[in-house]
Amino acid sequence: MSDKQIHIEEPGPSEYRSLLVQHEMKRASVWIAMGIAVALVVLLAQPIMLILGALVLTAMMDGGTRLLGRVLPIGRGWRLAIVLLAALAFLIYTFFLTGSSLAAQAQAMRVIVETQVTQIGGWMQQLGITTTPEDFKNLASQAMSSLGRVTAAVGTMVGALTSGVMMLVLAIFIAVEPKLYERGVAWMLPMEKRARFYRIADKMGWTLRRLMFGRLIGMAVEGVGTWLLLWAGGVPMAGLLGILTGLFAFLPNIGSIISGILIVLVGFSAGVDAGLYAFGVYLVVQIVDGYLIVPMVAKRATDLAPALVLAAQILFGALFGILGLFLADPIVAMLKVYLEERSKALEAERTEDPAILQDAS
């Protein structure tokens, strides 16, 4: 026995029984899963954005249905139908009954904007700045081409119409009975995770409804206010500018800049006095919306810093295109809700404070 020593074999790095191998495999699987998730996000950018857009539309429909339920004690399906019919009637009145005049104004506006851009280019050349109108067109083309993969999918009229119909149909199905789909998602989670999921889902829904309600109020105030004030001041194309301002108001920060440029260019086409008046109208409308409507309706629910929203718009616009640009702040609002609820849960687990546990639950 003295010449022979007993040697106990241990699993080597090539065997999965090794604790080292198991640990490294777990670490590697995490990185592989993250890589697969990123690849799926890139490949499935369009359907992901369409689903998120449908959820935003669902929040708007659900908010209107809940609001209507305060005055009409009827079934949810009937209230949802009334909301959809009212929205359809508004679109028909806006774009079909006034379609011919708006189309003529849009064509005239295009000529006015091109003329104003040419004049600005000539004025800049007189100041020694070698800029031509073609530079502005190239800049706009580069800005559009810098948007993400989804832009190519919805960049045509057919693509945009198809995407809009898909989002609308999906949103209607979810809005008919949102709790059904919420329970379906919760069914795929472990039992101990479902209570927190329901809490986060309810908070996200409330936040989106509040955010979209504020957005719609802001769109109405900006659109109608711009139209009436420009019409009272004799600025041409007041109706079209009001509609465009209302539509662009759905896009925070960037939308107000685009509508402001159009208002000022069209205003100065009618003279210096009309241009200055149009600029004043733009400032008044933005101040009313930014300092009265948004803080009163939406900011209390989301409290998103303007710089954060603008940064998210730049990032999501580059990654996911036009839909990402429009859905940037709803996505950030939902992420904020999740992080806040996650922080409450972690704090409750760390402190085991009954008050915090009750608040988190």
Q: Give the phi and the psi of residue 271 in degrees, each rounded to 5.
A: 130, 165
Q: Which amino acid is at 132?
A: T
Nearest to 254 by CA among 322, 202, 319, 301: 322
DSSP tag of 107: H
DSSP tag of 320: H
Measured distance CA(293)–CA(259) in Å, rounded: 18
Nearest to 333 by CA among 55, 48, 67, 34: 55
Q: What is the pTM of this model?
A: 0.71
- The pLDDT profile of the chain, 361 residues, written as one tens digit per residue, is 455 556 565 555 555 566 766 777 888 888 898 888 878 777 777 788 888 889 989 988 998 899 888 888 888 888 999 999 998 888 787 777 666 666 676 777 777 777 777 777 777 767 766 655 555 555 555 554 545 555 554 555 566 677 778 888 899 999 888 888 888 888 888 888 888 888 988 988 888 888 888 888 888 888 888 889 988 888 888 888 888 888 888 877 777 888 888 888 888 888 888 888 988 988 888 888 776 766 666 556 566 777 787 888 888 877 777 788 888 888 888 888 888 888 887 887 777 655 544 554 5
Measured distance CA(230)–CA(228) in Å, rounded: 6
Q: Which amino acid is at 358?
A: Q
DSSP tag of 15: S
Residues 6+ apart with CB under 8 A from 167: 50, 53, 54, 57
Q: 50, 170 in Cβ contact below 8 A?
A: yes
Q: 109, 237 in Cβ contact below 8 A?
A: yes
Angle subtended at Cα 219 by Cα 203 and Cα 308, rounded to the nearest 5 degrees: 55
